[in-house]
Amino acid sequence: MAAASVPPLSAIFSAATPTSKPIFPHSNSSTKPTLKPHQSSKESTTISRRKFLNGSLALLPLVISPPPPSQAKEIEVGTYLPPSPIDPSFVLFKATPKDTPALRAGNVQPYQFILPPTWKQMRVANILSGNYCQPKCAEPWVEVKFEDEKQGKIQVVASPLIRLTNKPNATIEDIGSPDKLIASLGPFVTGNTFDPDELLETSVEKHGDQTYYKYVLETPYALTGSHNLAKATAKGNTVVLFVASANDKQWQSSQKTLQAILDSFEV
């Protein structure tokens, strides 16, 4: 079969760009606009300038505004969050519908936790936030993220209940044991894979009618960090997972702080 003949790029561009017509018809200085009998030279100049600006502005690229500050404030939380009534050395974060798409959709119940005032809220990528699938997401999504370079980071992950059980409004006990739950949600703690050997400790807590499963993990290959603490509960149609992570250096100085943050989490 004979190979197809491909014309040179210069021929393509020369054919695609006509040279007989200028882009701006009045750009030639020798061409003067025709004045109507009642139109002055000053008025004609104003009209020509207006036409030029209208045409030029149409060629400008669209400028996309950044997300509103309420979605993530990358400044220290101590500048805008109130002190914790339990421990004034921390501040209290209470999630509201303005914070996440799932809360606005009523797909997640409000939650709260404390943070050191030097931490910062990080932006959650739209594709990870569940914004496109609310209120019927099939896979877990990230609610909020906070971080401190010296101490570690935390994130709240929500999973649709139907992903773990067919029972509507199931409690966390209905889903199964702490080991069974972490086997399903472990990859969302580590950011990649979960090995049962990485699980060092599990415990169960009750706050009123709400039951929480707590975990201590040593995860040397995790993307989130080599040390992870997690806490999970089920409410409504969602299982909410709280994760506190640190690398080895952060863990040495901030283990107690991360544990206090984890303990304060409640839905």
Position 135 scores a pLDDT of 87
Q: What is the pTM of this model?
A: 0.73
pLDDT tens, per residue, the chain with 267 residues: 444 444 444 443 344 444 444 444 444 444 444 444 444 444 444 445 554 445 543 444 444 334 443 456 689 999 999 999 999 999 999 999 999 999 999 999 999 999 999 999 999 999 999 898 998 899 999 999 999 999 999 999 999 999 999 998 999 999 999 999 999 999 999 999 999 999 999 999 999 999 999 999 999 999 999 999 999 999 999 999 999 999 999 999 999 999 999 999 999
Rounded Cα distance between 142 and 119, Å, is 18
- Tokens at 183, concatenated: 């086997």
Position 64 scores a pLDDT of 38
Position 179 scores a pLDDT of 97
- In single-letter form, the type of residue at position 197 comes to D
Of 150, 98, 84, the closest CA to residue 119 belongs to 150
Position 139 scores a pLDDT of 93
Q: Is 117 left (phi over 0), alpha (psi -120 to 50) or beta?
A: alpha
The total number of residues shown for the chain amounts to: 267
Position 59 scores a pLDDT of 40
Give yes or no for a cis peptide into 135 (omega within 30° of 0).
Answer: yes
Position 74 scores a pLDDT of 81
